[in-house]
């Protein structure tokens, strides 16, 4: 018997772990803060955002470059530590988004469903927690990715254990750092994870309503330099919707795209290759549209 369709609304009880990790940020008032805890927060935000932007988005969702099976898993594992579900789930729903961007079938369009829903509401809805396997058939042939897709929480919680263990070492072996294990856990894992959530979510919500439009795409995608900074280049969202398969999202020299710069370095090292580029005309010629 086919189960009844789930309603299009947040399930707050089912989303308790997501809500609890947000509330846990308040423990920062108890632990205090130190320079090393802030450094851990920034580093773990940055490296995991790279796992989302270069791994989940540019590689798994758009195949904008090629890499080995080993590094493919590394990218998936790195993205999974951000606790934004598994790489195949992420890629399948993102491919659906591009097929229906800002039309009534778009799962997280702020134009169709409002900012709250586009930003976080849909992530709390049980209706959208299943992987669309029909959209990721090529990736589903790798058993390690299927396992990671199912066990993404293991990666995320495992990182929390590692961060706590690192904090214990710092607390016991380097007392001059003035950092406790709990401080490292709260700032290095809890707060950085919550910041990662909302940094990523701004691309679904704000980047479709706030910024400028260079290209007359069929959706509301916009370029926003502030969002590009916090998402390592994803804020050049109108560029991306104009050329979705491009590994490069900052088309102009001044459009800062940190993920692409790291991919260029990895290409030099032979870790990745065949980085897809935007059309030459899109980079060299004047904007097709700017409002």
N-term to C-term CA, the chain? 51
| Interval 73-109: pLDDT, tens | 999 999 999 999 999 999 999 999 999 999 999 999 9
Whats the size of the chain, residue-wise?
A: 291
- Kindly tell me if the per-residue pLDDT of 231 is higher than 50: yes
Give rounded-to-5 percent helix, strand, coil for the chain.
60, 0, 35
129 neighbors 85 (Cβ within 8 angstroms): yes
d(CA 77, CA 56): 10
- Quote the pTM value: 0.94
Among left, alpha and beta (phi > 0; psi -120 to 50; other), residue 287 is beta
CA dihedral (248, 251, 254, 258) in degrees, to 10, reads -10
Locate 1 and state its tokens. 């018997």
> What phi and psi, each to the nearest 5 degrees, are found at residue 67?
-155, 180
| Interval 274-285: pLDDT, tens | 999 998 877 776
CA 289 to chain centroid, in Å, comes to: 28
Average pLDDT over residues 158-173: 96
Q: Mean pLDDT across the chain, nearest whole number?
A: 94
Residue spans per domain, the chain: 18-284
Locate 173 and state its tokens. 């072996």
- Cα Rg of the chain, angstroms: 19
Residue entry with tokens 């369709």: 5
d(CA 222, CA 91): 21
d(CA 57, CA 257): 14
> What phi and psi, each to the nearest 5 degrees, are found at residue 66?
-115, 155
Tell me what pLDDT residue 281 has: 76
Average pLDDT over residues 239-262: 96
């Amino acid at each position: 018997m086919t189960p009844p369709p789930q309603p299009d609304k947040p399930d707050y009880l089912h989303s308790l772990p997501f809500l609890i990790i947000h509330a846990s940020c308040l423990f920062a008032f108890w632990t205090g803060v130190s320079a090393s805890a802030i450094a851990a927060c920034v580093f773990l935000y940055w490296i995991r955002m790279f796992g989302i932007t270069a791994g989940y988005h540019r590689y798994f969702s758009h195949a904008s470059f090629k890499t080995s099976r080993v590094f493919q898993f590394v990218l998936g594992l790195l993205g999974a530590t951000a606790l934004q579900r598994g790489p195949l789930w992420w890629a399948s729903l993102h491919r659906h988004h591009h097929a229906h961007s800002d039309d009534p079938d778009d799962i997280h369009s702020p134009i169709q469903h409002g900012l709250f829903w586009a930003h976080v509401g849909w992530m709390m809805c049980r209706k959208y927690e299943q992987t669309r396997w029909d959209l990721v058939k090529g990736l589903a042939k790798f058993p390690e990715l299927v396992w990671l897709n199912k066990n993404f929480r293991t990666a995320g919680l495992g990182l929390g254990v590692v961060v706590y263990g690192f904090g214990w070492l710092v607390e016991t072996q380097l007392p001059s750092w003035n950092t406790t294990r709990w401080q490292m856990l709260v700032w290095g894992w809890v707060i950085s994870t919550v910041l990662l959530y909302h940094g990523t979510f701004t691309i679904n919500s704000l980047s479709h309503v706030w910024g400028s439009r260079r290209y007359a795409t069929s959706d509301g995608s916009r370029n926003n330099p502030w969002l590009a900074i916090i998402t390592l280049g994803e804020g050049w969202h109108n560029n991306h919707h104009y050329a979705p398969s491009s590994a490069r999202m900052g088309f102009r020299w001044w459009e800062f795209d940190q993920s692409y710069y790291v991919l260029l370095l990895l290409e030099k090292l032979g870790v990745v290759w065949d980085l897809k580029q935007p059309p030459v005309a899109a980079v060299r010629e004047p904007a097709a549209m700017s409002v």
